Amino acid sequence: MSRKPRSELIELDECDIAPGSVEPFARAAAVLAQGNVLALRINPPATTKEVAVSRARSALIAIAQVLMERHDLPAEAYVEVDDESWGTPVAPFRDRRFLLPHHDGGHCSFLTPSRLDYADLDPSERVFSATVYWKRPSHKVYQGFLVLNPGVPPGQTHYYNTLTLLWDAFSYRHCRAPASLAELAAFAVENVRRSKENQATHGSRYLTLGALLGSRDFAHHVMPSGPRAESELWPAQYIALPALCEMVDRCPCGTCDGPGARVFCHACAHTLGRVWPEFQREYEVTVVGAPYDVLIGNNLTQLHAAESSSSRTIRPLCIVLDRPEGDAYEKWLARQWRIWYETCPAAPHAAQVI
């Protein structure tokens, strides 16, 4: 099994992003279609921020078009340019922060199987909170951003294969590997439903990794603000789940810095049998973007994290859908699961590629 996603830097010339160009973007689209991380660089370097944003948007529109024509991305997908992030928010008395592994979008962008693999899934189950989301309610299929200022030292973005994590969590809980893709899909749906059904207890408006991987301890369903590793939790979270008090004092590895990181470390140990440093060694790939690079990856089959200074500035650029449903979406999503599944040597490869 491929334990980590791959990252690939692709450089394009400015002339490649002229209207009508297709082939220059085929390789970039193939990187994303295979579930890997794309670092896109357009030469010569832009001279202004406005030029860089315009170039990046044009390139992503062209890449999305190739994904539609060659890789089953639904035709309703479009490129969304979000507001500029004016410096990285950090905890008090700090000049850097670490964002824990998460999906962008929060309320509605997280891993579920296709209805072709789990017919009982309702598309509405892909929304965790109908009212609380990060800036825009779109469903982020590919999460990316343009690096405007990498910060000092340069920010690092880390990526993790969510399906590998789900596979390992199933194996850890059941002391055996999943017998089929359908069994893994059922495990994911069961875990999502458990967390949604118990939102009144854990109070989280975001599906955490501990929840997705099947933890029955609802303290592992709590997301700190941000989700910054160094951030304190809300008082109401401690009141509802007193076990959090002990978790934020000390984590299983004894090295995590901050309440959010310690809760995450507990969740990793509980669901995967790996503390946070082991999690990083096993699953993490790191990408450092230069000024005006675009970093982008599949927002459903990958988690991402980031370590950066308060001076880092980015402009989110994502390929999104307004509604994660319909025959075309289900076909595309089923294919993403199968692309991963066919790289897994331990799996019985009976799943037909859709």
DSSP result, 330-349: HHHHHHHHHHHHTT-TTS--
Domain-located, residue 54: yes
Report the chain's mean pLDDT, rounded to a whole number: 91
CA 243 from chain center: how many Å? 27
Closest by CA to 16, choosing from 64, 53, 55, is: 55
Domain-located, residue 1: no
- In sequence order, the 6+-apart residues with CB closer than 8 A to the CB of 93 are none
Domain-located, residue 336: yes
Residue 332, classified by CB atoms within 10 Å of its CB into exposed (0-12), middle (13-18) or buried (19+), is buried
The pLDDT tens digits for 301-343 are 999 999 988 888 999 999 999 999 999 999 999 999 999 998 7
Domain-located, residue 298: yes
- CB burial string 60-95: b at 16+ within 10 A, e below: bebbbbbbbeebbbbeebebbebeebeebebbeeee
Cα separation, 243 vs 257, whole angstroms? 18
Q: Which stretches does DSSP call E strand in 267-326? A: 285-287, 294-298, 302-309, 313-321
Q: Which domain holds residue 37?
A: 7-341
Report the predicted TM-score, pTM, of the whole model to 2 decimal places: 0.94
Domain-located, residue 348: no
Domain-located, residue 351: no
Domain-located, residue 188: yes
Closest by CA to 296, choosing from 71, 79, 72, 23, is: 79
Domain-located, residue 263: yes
Report pLDDT for 1: 47
The pLDDT tens digits for 250-294 are 999 999 989 999 999 999 999 999 999 999 999 999 999 999 999
Longest dimension (CA), the chain: 59
Tell me what the mean pLDDT of segment 111-116 comes to. 97
DSSP state of 263: H
Give the total number of structural domains in the chain.
1
Cα separation, 322 vs 310, whole angstroms? 32
The pLDDT tens digits for 62-87 are 999 999 999 999 999 999 998 887 66
DSSP state of 312: -
Of 16 and 66, which is predicted with more confidence? 66
Cβ neighbours of 291 (radius 10 Å):
16
